[in-house]
Amino acid sequence: METSRTPKIGGWIAVPVGILLIIAIGAVLSPRFLSISNFSNILLSMSIVGVIVVGMTFVFISNGMADLSVPATLATGAIIVLRAQPVLALAP
């Protein structure tokens, strides 16, 4: 029995439509949603996770054994920095 490998049209368009729907709802609910400062805050918040994801992708590609949980890696890094803060006299 032969199966068709043609992609469904609704499959690839659902993600962009969903994102646009979420943006439209946010813009209606809050007038500051589409502001430059909000986009700046979102990009700044996601940049930390983005850097971790890129690093963990290299670990995954190189066939290394590692926990691929981004939040666990972020929390571990935060604990290391907080423990090193008194020793290295880092500013709070």
Residue-wise pLDDT tens digits, 35-69: 999 989 988 888 877 887 787 777 778 776 666 67
Where in the chain are the domains?
A: 10-88
Q: Which residues contact 48 (CB under 8 A, 6 or more apart)?
A: 74
The pLDDT, as a whole number, for residue 66 is 64
The pLDDT, as a whole number, for residue 29 is 95
Q: Which residue shows structure tokens 């691929």?
A: 68
HSE-CB of 86 using CA atoms within 13 angstroms: 2
pLDDT band, residue 6 (cuts 50/70/90) = low
> Between the CA of residue 48 and those of 43, 45, 52, 55, 73, what are the distances in Å?
9, 6, 6, 11, 11
